[in-house]
Structure 1
């Protein structure tokens, strides 16, 4: 492997141009307003109009890494003071730097400071050592890794289209029909947290989901396991968030344990049930206390809630077919992301050369 160079030498900082704007002072417009966790708003003006690497400066996510900490911002956009803004120095590829930073363990290297609010300051960010590779090699590595991301994004778009088709089909089929109580359509069980000493990250037992914080776009993301589950969801069961924000729904893709922040809803027509619980945005509005994290719903409230429903077998078949497509896209993306991250480490270390990599085709 070749030598390394500091990230400070591989980039040019533009963080001094950042300007934070309070939410009450922002004027709505077409330009993304970036923060530590991505785009947080859209405003009527911009600070930057060239691609830049944005890296989270503070926040709990620097430790948990539940969401990305690095982004490439393009077009015209605004950045607040919670994200470092970096351009590639001459001889360095911005995408190459993005992939390196995205998987770098800042906390493991002792670069995240602060006992209350975790922080990655500019000095520590500059200290990170980046592989010193010829620009052409950086571009080739970025191109290979980008092929994985392009396919992941294609799957996401396909999944969104399938979701839109499901929603439209369900709403059309149930238009004008009487609403039915959930208890007449699904089995409802409330989650129950296992003993705290049984939690682990070693894969011992079942995946454990406590609440909405575990949710991804549609399927839960495994972060912890438990060896003594108290409530178990089966593949296809719906997981309903019963604490604020109430009403988020995800689908169990495997046998898993659930905590008190979730209810398990089991239906013979899970694809129809999913649409019934998500097609009405205001379904739980009466039980959500604005601005509080303490609102919740119980089994009685869930069971008595009346939802749109249809027993049309054609509708069920259409929704189930589209559901299989969404799940397939999700599983492909999990595998692609894992392959990309494993490959990134090998390419950066020089253990694998670009010419030896089989690039995925969209």
Structure 2
């Protein structure tokens, strides 16, 4: 029987394959009607989608297809997939975010247009379409440059905002997957788009970015679903920007002494239908399970503790407990002008008072004479 990590890795690869196929389908749709050049124009400049006659392609539909096709072509250059461990995702969802500086997200350039895929996709309320529940399969990051909004790599120095595409799979009200659309062999996906500004003086919160996103969609105020989607996107992006992020880079062919990479199921002389990208990074596969174990230990200690302590006035000490985690912005470099993010894991207060079994004493600890 395969280990949990192996099963999670396989599930992530399947989801990445589905998302990549959906992006490629958007490109193929444009090519099938003679508009295959539009994604190149969205990257390198040229005619606008609005210039395409309406009888050829619906403008709104064409804009979405062009954006997805351009994202697909840029992503395909490096095929950077970041597989997030389910334990790490559950921890990130509980971490708070404060005011965020726009320049922080230039650090996404360390990875070329990454596709962050969830090994066990979380369920949340959809913020577009007919609403209802959906599974968040992946988050894609791409760059945009200049006033024309041309798309680019996340490492492009001209980038002035980050385009985020959240890939969702709609679910029925009972939580089961919806059947594929008529005439399609695969289940449908919906894409939720938002932009992260990168200006030197940009400062924003989750609520502020949700408000910008809502107004772009014609709303005065963001819906709870939009707030949740923006929060999830920023939680992933901020951690991905950290120079201390738990990312495991696979060994190169030379280090692994492998002349070529093929899937285990591939037979000699035959290529798999979809080859796993060589830049298939694992995020949180070491840290996530450790954070989960620490949280469970805290819950066990809290269940054994019957008393509740008060604040530590007069030299009193609080009973041992764990404070919640958050993602903190730190400033580095000359003059402390370069933003970086740090994941502050839940930590113990008065940890030295735990006994040998990891149990906390009851109530407030009073100083001895």
TM-score interval w.r.t. the shorter chain? under 0.3
- TM-score by length of structure 1 reads 0.25
TM-score (ref. length: structure 2): 0.25
